[in-house]
Amino acid sequence: MKRVSLTQYLVEEQRLNNSIPAELRLLIEVVARACKTISHAVGKGALGEVLGSAGSENIQGEVQKKLDILSNEILLEANEWGGHLAAMASEEMETIHPIPNRYPMGEYMLLFDPLDGSSNIDVNVSIGTIFSVLKAPEGMAAPTEQDFLQPGSKQVAAGYAVYGPQTVLVLTTGNGVNCFTLDREMGSWVLTQRNMQIPADTKEFAINTSNSRHWYPPVTRYVDEMLAGVTGPRQKDFNMRWIASMVTDVHRILCRGGIFMYPADKRDTEKPGKLRLMYEANPMSFIVEQAGGASTDGKQRMLDVQPTALHQRVAVFLGSKNEVERVTRYHQE
């Protein structure tokens, strides 16, 4: 198959669908280059003296790993000079990061989880980077957190990288989902899968079942019916996967179907789930919908959720359309 590079794909996409203006193409190429750098640092492991904790906590109250902070810095430095961004926001930073005055401001806003799955870093399990692109509000002078609080349906691009046996970059700009694999010898992203599609049905579910005693009834009903297998109401057997690294669980679903769930539970009525809306749930939901899947917070379409805070958490049910619709229906019954 003729090799198509990320740049060629983006140029052709602009020609075909006029969906990737030059500034957005620059943004995507810069983020993709930063992901190559992160992949290189992650791949060194203990040899790079980047494992272990940084001895600090992020706004989520989570211990920051050295690689969390390094990945965040790589994305900030890669993006601030290009003139394509007005501001950035990250899981690892409490407030938004305006573009320094010495650089021109652009019309896009970039949000990211620089290294998702941190609990897996030190045990050599795949981790990744998730990013989301919004447009700055018309006439915005100095960006504020409020400017970022747009529903996921306003995203103009979203993607993730998985640092695993292969390093892959999965991307959408609103015209389907494409996968690029990093050619390490050449240092280039090569298009390896066009127009990824999630099957509407599946036999595989992903949830952390150690929390099952805390679940609300709709989730308990949905999971119990699958556990009942071929003799139960679903009349088929299911399999379970839980890698505890959202990018890898979602990538598996993009590749072969499945449903990923991180529900709210009774432990904390103030906490509507563990995952963050703006830079985890929204970009992944945009990608999943573009691949024919569905994503809700149990009550409504994820991309319709109106954000109220930059780091707000949300319950997540995403993947094979018929399964997401079923578990969401159980929440309404």
Residue in 261, 299, 266 with CA at minimum distance from that of residue 281: 261
Least separation, in Å, of the C-beta of 181 and ligand P6P?
22
Stretch that binds ligand P6P, among 27-35, 116-124, 187-195, 294-302 (CB under 6 A): 116-124
Using the 8-state DSSP alphabet, how is residue 202 labeled? -
116 near ligand P6P, judged by CB under 6 A: yes
Q: Mask 169-208, x = binds ligand P6P (CB under 6 A)? A: ---------------------------------------x
Beta-bridge partners for 112: 90, 131
Start-to-end CA span in the chain (Å):
49
Q: Binding to ligand P6P by residue 240, rule CB under 6 A?
A: no
Write the single-letter amino acid at 19.
S
Nearest distance from residue 61's CB to ligand P6P, in Å?
13
Closest chain position to ligand P6P (CB): 246
Rounded least distance, CB 81 to ligand P6P, Å = 30
- Touching ligand P6P, residues 259-278 (CB under 6 A): 274
Q: How far is the CB of 319 from ligand P6P (least distance, A)?
A: 13
Size of the site for ligand P6P (CB under 6 A): 9
Compute the least distance from the CB of residue 313 to ligand P6P, in Å.
Answer: 10
d(CA 305, CA 149): 10
Instruction: Find, among 191, 174, 195, 176, the residue nearest to 19 by Cα.
Output: 174
Q: If binding is defined by CB under 6 A, does position 245 make contact with ligand P6P?
A: yes
- The Cα–Cα gap between 97 and 172 comes to 24
Q: Does 117 bind ligand P6P (CB under 6 A)?
A: yes
Residues 6+ apart with CB under 8 A from 83: 23, 103, 104, 105, 106
Closer residue to ligand P6P in complex, CB, 106/263: 263
246 touching ligand P6P, by CB under 6 A: yes
List Cα–Cα distances, 270 to 220, 277, 295, 328, in angstroms.
Answer: 20, 15, 22, 20
CB of 193 to ligand P6P, least distance (A): 22
What's the closest the beta carbon of residue 330 comes to ligand P6P, in angstroms? 21
Our finding on whether 58 is near ligand P6P (CB under 6 A) is no
Whole-angstrom Cα Rg for the chain: 19
Sequence-ordered list of residues with C-beta below 8 angstroms from that of 98, at least 6 positions apart, any chain: 86, 87, 142, 143
At 16, which amino acid appears?
L
**Interacting residues with ligand P6P between 293 and 322 (CB under 6 A):** none
Residues of this chain that bind ligand P6P (CB under 6 A): 116-119, 208, 244-246, 274
